[in-house]
């Protein structure tokens, strides 16, 4: 398995420890360097291969924005900061994401997912994905499972959890349906009921208020019918 080599840059040691703990949930990511200021990080980058950087913004000597601008061929970068006022300038520099401290594992998972969406050449085996497959990161128990979108049959809401039913198994994740819709590509998935999200490409037929996914029949909520008809051109 090819690892995503990652560098952490923050002048606060506790901030680096928090990011390291979060990244332990992603087996495909390997932290290869941790630095508390930009100059030694720059030196490290001159002699080592790095795929992804997590960088604070407000630091002594050289701040995170200046650090990124100084790199001729910068790796992918995710900013981690306690300040919102740099967001516009950061995204003008084409960063992958902008994380506000304190950073939750859920928010870290979304950032990692964005990285993989942009740089899919890096493989991962935990969720049985090939490098070319589109994926979603799901928090299952105390780990992150990286799951191929084409294996998903549908999502079902179950109290405070969402059940992801796949071709060969199921995953129970502490996700809301609205958050899942933010993570899933809108041209591939649609919510058909307050309890169900389905892949558009697997819809076989609609009869009355029921939708068929092969041998699976699911209800269509009244408030979701209009969008469903528009998406599948009915």
Note down the domain range covering 182.
Answer: 147-231
Mark whether 110 and 155 lie in a shared domain.
no
Mark whether 37 and 114 lie in a shared domain.
yes
| Domain CATH for 86 | 3.40.50.2300
Q: Is residue 124 part of a domain?
A: no
Mark whether 81 and 159 lie in a shared domain.
no
Lookup: tokens for 206: 């609609």
Q: Is the pTM of this model over 0.75?
A: no
Q: Is residue 136 part of a domain?
A: no
Contacts for 35 with CB less than 8 Å, ≥ 6 apart = 7, 8, 9, 41, 44
Q: What is the pLDDT of residues 21-64, one digit of tens each?
A: 999 999 889 999 999 999 999 999 999 999 999 999 999 999 99
Mark whether 21 and 78 lie in a shared domain.
yes
Q: Is residue 134 part of a domain?
A: no
Strand 205-207's sheet: what is its strand order?
Answer: 205-207, 210-213, 216-219
Q: What is the pLDDT of residues 105-150, one digit of tens each?
A: 989 998 998 888 777 543 333 444 444 457 888 878 767 788 888 8
Q: Is residue 20 part of a domain?
A: yes
1: pLDDT strictly greater than 70: no
Q: Is residue 218 part of a domain?
A: yes
pLDDT, position 131: 40
Give 98's pLDDT tier (boundaries 50, 70, 90): very high
| Domain CATH for 156 | 2.40.50.1020
Strand 4-9's sheet: what is its strand order?
Answer: 29-35, 4-9, 52-55, 76-81, 97-100
Q: How far is CA 152 from the centre of its chain?
A: 16
Mark whether 44 and 93 lie in a shared domain.
yes
pLDDT, position 120: 56
Pairing of strands 76-81, 52-55: parallel
Mark whether 44 and 102 lie in a shared domain.
yes
Give the total number of structural domains in the chain. Answer: 2
Which value, in Å, is the radius of gyration of the alpha carbons in the chain?
20
pLDDT, position 136: 84
pLDDT, position 128: 42
- Taken in order 128, 126, 121, 113, the sign of the CA dihedral is positive
Q: What is the pLDDT of residues 187-225, one digit of tens each?
A: 899 999 999 999 999 999 998 899 999 889 999 999 999
Mark whether 15 and 114 lie in a shared domain.
yes
């Amino acid at each position: 398995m090819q690892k995503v080599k990652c560098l952490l840059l923050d002048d606060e040691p506790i901030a680096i420890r928090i990011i390291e703990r979060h990244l332990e949930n992603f087996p495909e990511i390997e932290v290869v360097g941790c630095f508390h200021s930009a100059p030694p990080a720059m030196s490290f980058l001159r002699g080592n291969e790095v795929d992804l950087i997590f960088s604070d913004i407000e630091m002594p000597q050289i701040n995170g924005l200046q650090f990124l601008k100084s790199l001729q061929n910068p790796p992918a970068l995710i900013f981690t900061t306690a300040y919102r006022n740099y967001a516009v300038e950061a995204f003008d520099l084409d960063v992958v994401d902008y994380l506000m401290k304190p950073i939750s594992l859920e928010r870290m998972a979304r950032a990692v997912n964005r990285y993989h969406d942009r740089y899919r050449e890096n493989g991962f085996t935990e969720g049985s994905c090939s490098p070319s497959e589109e994926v979603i990161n799901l928090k299952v128990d105390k780990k992150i499972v990286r799951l191929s979108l084409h294996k998903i049959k549908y999502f079902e809401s179950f109290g405070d959890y969402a059940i992801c039913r796949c071709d060969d198994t199921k995953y129970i994740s502490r996700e809301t349906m609205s958050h899942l819709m933010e993570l899933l590509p809108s041209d591939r998935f649609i919510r058909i009921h307050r309890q169900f999200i389905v892949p558009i490409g697997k819809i076989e037929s609609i009869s009355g208020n029921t939708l068929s996914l092969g041998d699976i029949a699911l209800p269509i909520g009244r408030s979701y019918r209009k969008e469903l008809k528009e998406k599948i051109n009915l």
